[in-house]
Copies of this chain bind each other. A is one copy, B any other.
Amino acid sequence: MNPSDEEKQRLSRRRFLASGLMAAAGAGLSAAPAAAAGTTDNAPPAANPSPANVVEPFWDKYQAGIITPVQKHTNMAAFDLTTSDRADVIQMLQAWTAAAARMAQGQTAEPLGLDASGPAADSGEALELSPARLTVTFGFGAGLFIKDGYDRYGLAAQRPAALVDLPKFTGDQLAETRTGGDLLVQACADDPQVAFHAIRQLSRLAYDTAQIRWVQTGFTADSKPGQTPRNLMGFKDGTNNPSVKDSQAMNQFIWVDQEGPEWMRNGSYVVVRRIRIALEHWDRMNLAFQEQTVGRHKYSGVPLGGTKEFDKPDYDATDKDGNSIIPENAHIRLGSAETNGGAQILRRPYSYNDGANFTAERWPPWRQEMEYDAGLLFLCYQRDPRTGFIKIFDKMSKFDMMNQFVTHTGGGLFACPGGVPTGGYIGQHLFEKA
């Protein structure tokens, strides 16, 4: 018996036990299930009407959720594959693709039947809700190609050179339980329940093929159109992003072209970093210090020495004593294209707020108390992380004045294939070429 058959037998056994459990639960009812099943009261509601402005197209050249205008909420999950069978992976990706396309339209993950005797095809909490511009963006981690030295699915030769193992950066405090994963699914929507619903359905469809490794929610402020949103540090965040409408910049910096592998054409690489911010400390710093740290004025977003938010920061300007107006270690200087040989990434950041936990300070005023576990869920897309995030962040991790307030606690690097043509499935080219 080869490992794959053994695995399948084990899975069948599990499935049998699970259905037995459900039957047992049903038998314990104090009234017959038949009383409830099959009535018209039970009929699923009709699919949502989906006005175009709340539906983001799923079938496309590029995956949705990359240059899509940022939605208000995200719910992301990294999965580890537990199957040893390549066919299981393909089957799951097919189911994921079909479900993601349906949910983007405001439909249930799978069609709901009237049969009340089995688990429903959808958990139902998004019924009647708007599609809320849901996008589901898929990424492949290194573990899909090789894990603990094993080429589980015969894909090792297709691992892109750009899908490197991220180096350990200065200050990294990445927790294993928040880092990496064989697959990444990012659901973004203007309704948090719609985003969570999407992750939950895909997770259910992954049953016995993949398991959740970590999950993370994020949000953005409900900013007015044309305003750059503020992050939790109170500063405008994203002013200096390349415009997603600039197709030349997108082609140069974001989309993979002919450099290969072929299955990554029109795809992009996403770096995720969960960045905890010591908000309590930040809030006690004086305004001038905060502005020097960032390199911008807080309220207006204007770069130091400039007059308007979208002014190009003048990194050469000095005061009468010869000091740089924008400090040498200011956040925007170290992250700029100018000081990184022209490197650019497309940031698509969310804030996160995971409550609070206990922190004992080792410096004045030696407070011992609960502190927010909140900060930035940093996401950036790029054509090649080696010339994108890694290049830019290597310097920032060492010198950015902001580092005294931020700690990177998790994340990963994932290869996001190109978009899916109607009826295909995510990563199809990868599996059919390899």
User: Contact at B287–A37, with CB atoms within 8 Å?
Assistant: yes
Contact B200 A221 (CB under 8 A): no
Report the Cα distance A123→B287, complex, angstroms. Answer: 10
Which chain B residue lies CB-closest to A42?
B297
Chain B CB within 8 A of A356 CB? yes
A161 located at the interface, meaning its Cβ lies under 8 Å from any Cβ of chain B in the complex: no
Residue from the list B112, B129, B356 in contact with A223, Cβ < 8 A: B129
**Would A285 and B41 count as touching, CB distance under 8 A?**
no
Minimum Cβ distance to chain B for residue A237 (Å)? 10
Chain B residues within 8 Å of A299, by CB: 41-45, 112, 124, 127
Among A14, A125, A216, A287, find the residue whose CB has the most chain B CB atoms closer than 10 A.
A287
Query: What mask results when residues 269 to 294 of chain A are scored 1 for a CB within 8 Å of chain B, else 0?
Result: 00000000001101111111111100
Q: Which of B196, B211, B304 contacts A35 (CB 8 A)?
A: B304
Task: For the complex, give the distance between the alpha carbons of A323 and B35 in Å.
Answer: 10
A75 within 8 A of B: yes
- In the complex, what residues of B have CB within 8 A of residue A175's CB? none
What's the tally of chain A residues with a CB closer than 8 Å to chain B?
116
Interface string of A299-334 (1 = CB under 8 A from B): 110101111000000000001010111111100000
CB distance from A225 to the nearest CB of B (A): 12
The reply on A33 being an interface residue by CB < 8 A is: yes
Q: How far is the CA of A124 from the CA of B232 in the complex (A)?
A: 8
Does residue A21 face the partner (Cβ distance < 8 Å to B)?
A: yes
- Once A221-B125, A355-B215, A372-B215 are accepted as A-B contacts, the answer to whether A288 and B26 lie under 8 Å apart by CB is yes
Chain A stretch 22-44: residues in CB contact (< 8 A) with chain B: 22, 25-26, 29-37, 39, 41-44
Give the residues in chain B near A42, CB-CB below 8 Å: 287, 291, 297-300
Chain B residue at minimal CB-CB distance from A321? B32
Q: List B contacts of A298 (CB < 8 A).
A: 42, 120, 124
Name which of A83-91, A362-370, A411-419 contacts chain B: A362-370
Binds B, one of A143-151, A187-195, A247-255, A341-349: A187-195
Among A222, A224, A288, A298, find the residue whose CB has the most chain B CB atoms closer than 10 A.
A288
Q: Which residue of B lies closest to A192 (CB)?
A: B219
- Other-chain contact of A230, B127, B217, B326 (Cβ < 8 Å): B127
A214 adjacent to B356 (CB under 8 Å)? yes
> In the bound complex, do residue A126 and residue B221 qualify as a contact, i.e. CB atoms below 8 Å apart?
yes
Determine if A47 is an interface residue (Cβ-Cβ < 8 Å). no
Residues in B with CB closer than 8 Å to A288 are 26, 33-34, 36-37, 116-117
Known: A35-B323, A42-B298, A194-B221. 8 other contacts (CB 8 A): A36-B288, A36-B291, A43-B300, A117-B286, A124-B230, A125-B231, A132-B222, A212-B369
Which A residues are within 8 Å of any B CB, using their own CB? 14-15, 17-18, 20-22, 25-26, 29-37, 39, 41-45, 75, 112, 115-120, 122-130, 132, 177, 190-194, 196, 200, 203-204, 211-217, 219-224, 227, 230-235, 279-280, 282-292, 297-300, 302, 304-307, 319, 321, 323-329, 351, 353-356, 358, 363-365, 369-370, 372, 374
Q: List 13 A-B contacts (CB under 8 A).
A: A18-B365, A36-B287, A37-B288, A41-B299, A41-B300, A119-B285, A120-B283, A123-B279, A127-B234, A127-B299, A130-B222, A130-B224, A216-B355
